[in-house]
């Protein structure tokens, strides 16, 4: 699967680790592990089958899903189809507590 970022802050974190001090170290580590899983996934079902991430549709939010980084933080994403490929749009890291 391919992914992109909706905003520059997470793109900077992914590309240069800029801003990593804004999140707990275990969240940053989980962010890199999860983006690696997204990149290596062949389909949306592959992501759904990864039990630890717990891909869930968010109620009350149009086309937004969450994936667990840890017990407290979630990666918020959207899915879009472009020319037969599913793209993951990474929106933000959100504190659920």
Residue 27, pLDDT score = 96
The CATH number given to whatever domain includes residue 13 is 3.30.2310.20
For 32-87, how does the pLDDT look when each residue is reduced to its tens digit (9 = 90+)?
999 999 999 888 888 888 877 889 999 988 889 999 999 999 999 999 988 888 89
Label residue 97 by pLDDT band (50, 70, 90). Answer: confident
Between CA 87 and CA 32 the distance in angstroms is: 17
Residue with the bigger pLDDT between 92 and 60: it is: 92
Domains in the chain, number: 1
Mean predicted confidence (pLDDT) in 13-22: 95
Residue 92, pLDDT score = 95
Buried b (16+ CB within 10 A) or exposed e, 51-83: eebebeeeeeeeebbbbbbeeebbbbbebeeee
Residue 49, pLDDT score = 85
Instruction: Find the domain containing 20 and state its range.
Output: 2-95
């Amino acid at each position: 699967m391919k992914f992109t970022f909706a905003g520059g802050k997470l793109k900077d974190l992914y590309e240069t680790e800029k801003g990593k001090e804004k999140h707990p170290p275990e969240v940053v580590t989980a962010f890199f592990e999860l983006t690696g899983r997204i990149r290596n996934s062949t389909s949306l079902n592959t992501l759904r089958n990864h039990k630890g991430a717990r891909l869930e549709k968010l109620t009350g939010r149009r086309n937004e899903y969450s994936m667990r980084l840890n017990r407290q933080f979630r990666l918020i994403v959207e899915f879009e189809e472009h020319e037969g490929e599913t793209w993951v749009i990474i929106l933000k890291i959100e504190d659920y507590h």
